[in-house]
Amino acid sequence: MRKQILSTLALVGVVALTAAGCSTDTADSDDVAAPGGGGGGGGDLITVGFAQTGAESGWRSANTESMNEAFSEENGFELVFNSADNDPAAQIAAVRSFINQGVDAIVIAPIVEDGWDDVLQEAQDAEIPVILEDRTVSASEDLYASWVGLDFELEGQMAGEWAAEQFTEPTNMVVLEGTTGSAPANDRAAGFDAAIEGTPIEKIDSQSGDFTRDGGKSVMEGFLQKHGADGIDLVYAHNDDMGLGAIEAIEAAGAVPGEDIKIITIDAVRDGMQALVDGKINYIVECNPLLGDAAAELVKAVLNGEEVAKTTIVEDQAFDQAAAEAALPDRTY
């Protein structure tokens, strides 16, 4: 898939426009829409159905808030929101509901990559354009208009390259994977594994914590029972929330996170960055959740008949303890 990297100036614009909308609060109910608007209603608003994965993490909460801000009535939209609670079947059902409602466009943050062919074809047959946000799908590119998100494989690679530089002696690593079958879990694993190939880092266990703090804690407890704190040198967590859960498990086992067991995570949400500043996490690769304005601009362009890039990738940063301490005061999510 051809990738178009947003310029630094463009990224600053997206962050500036969406910063006010970033918090850990999300809409609590599904299918919440403002009165009036498109999709068969009155007025000039563009009706957009947004199928979110759920509210499994601080990153996801910030992403939802960014989308709510961007697709506001003030910006010319009526947003029909659905949170699928990490249930792929429920998410596909929500998209079918959007099609039946006759919305003007659909935005999807797919829970998993596979299983989208039929419903995307149904949207295309109904002449409703689909924009993918955050995660990708395995379906044909012809079935959706565009995708905006992050390079998950590069995120994993950046994390793995840091690990390869730091761990030059035999190292036992456990992995807290994201949701099984999801693009970030697949790609972050592939990128990291490629980066540590040929190093003395050995992956001794790997299991999904489903991108949740509770999941990360539970899986890490299992790793500690199986291998012991002395048998684990490094944790690679596919997101901050699972890493934060791992910290709780490590501390409960009487070990010191960040010292006895090093931790690498991906996301760079405030809680994760604070843990990095506190020395409980050792390295974080960013995954920017502020994609709302970019998605909204794509929806408008597609509906206006403009040609858009098939793929737009927002660049990420990486943080050690000093960089996190410098960035944290101005962190908006």
Which residues have CB under 8 Å from 294's CB, separation 6+? 6, 14, 148, 312, 314
Query: Beta strands 283-286 and 318-319: pairing type?
Result: antiparallel
pLDDT band at 315 (very low <50, low <70, confident <90, very high): confident
Does the structure show a pLDDT above 70 at 111?
yes
Distance of CA 31 to the CA centre of its chain: 21
Closest CA to 80 of 39, 54, 106, 49: 49
Instruction: Report the distance separating Cα 139 and Cα 143, nearest Å.
Output: 7
Encoded tokens for 52: 């979110």
Same fold yes or no, 4-151+288-316 and 152-286: yes
Cβ count within 10 A of residue 258: 17
Report the pLDDT value the prediction gives residue 332, as an integer from 0 to 100.
Answer: 83
pLDDT tens-digit map of 282-298: 999 999 999 999 999 99
Confidence of residue 43 (pLDDT cuts 50, 70, 90): low
Return the minimum-mean-pLDDT range out of 23-32, 91-100, 187-196, 230-239.
23-32
Read off the tokens for 163.
């690990």
Q: Are 42 and 36 in contact (CB under 8 A)?
A: yes
| pTM tops 0.85, yes or no | no
Contact yes or no for 55/112 (Cβ under 8 A): no
CA distance 223 to 144: 40
Angle (CA) 108-110-113 rounded to 5° is: 140
pLDDT of 39 > 50? The answer is no
pLDDT, average across residues 259-266? 98
> Please, what CATH class does the domain formed by 152-286 belong to?
alpha beta
| Total residue count of the chain as it appears in this document | 333
pLDDT tens for each residue of 266-286:
999 999 999 999 999 999 999
Cα–Cα distance for residue pair 45/225, rounded to 1 Å: 55
- 102: confidence class by pLDDT, cuts 50, 70, 90: very high
Phi-psi region of 234 (alpha: psi -120 to 50; beta: other; left: phi over 0): beta
Decide if pLDDT at 228 tops 80: yes
Give per-residue pLDDT as tens, 165-180: 999 999 999 999 999 9
CA distance 82 to 80: 7
Least trusted range by pLDDT, from 51-60, 72-81, 248-257: 51-60
pLDDT cut 90: percent of the chain above it = 84
Q: What is the pLDDT of residues 181-197, one digit of tens each?
A: 999 999 999 999 999 99
Provide long-range contacts, Cβ within 8 A and 24+ apart, for 304-312: 308/145, 308/146, 309/2, 309/4, 309/146, 310/1, 310/2, 310/141, 310/146, 310/147, 311/1, 311/2, 311/3, 311/4, 311/146, 311/147, 311/148, 312/4, 312/6, 312/146, 312/147, 312/148, 312/149
**What per-residue confidence (pLDDT) applies to 15?**
35
Output the pLDDT for position 34. Answer: 34
As a whole number, mean pLDDT of residues 288-315 equals 96
What residue spans define the domains of the chain? 4-151+288-316, 152-286
- Please tell me the CATH code under which domain 4-151+288-316 is placed: 3.40.50.2300
- d(C-alpha 117, C-alpha 186), whole Å: 19
pLDDT tens digits for range 131-164: 999 999 999 999 999 999 999 999 999 999 999 9
Indicate the pLDDT class of residue 48, thresholds 50, 70 and 90: very high
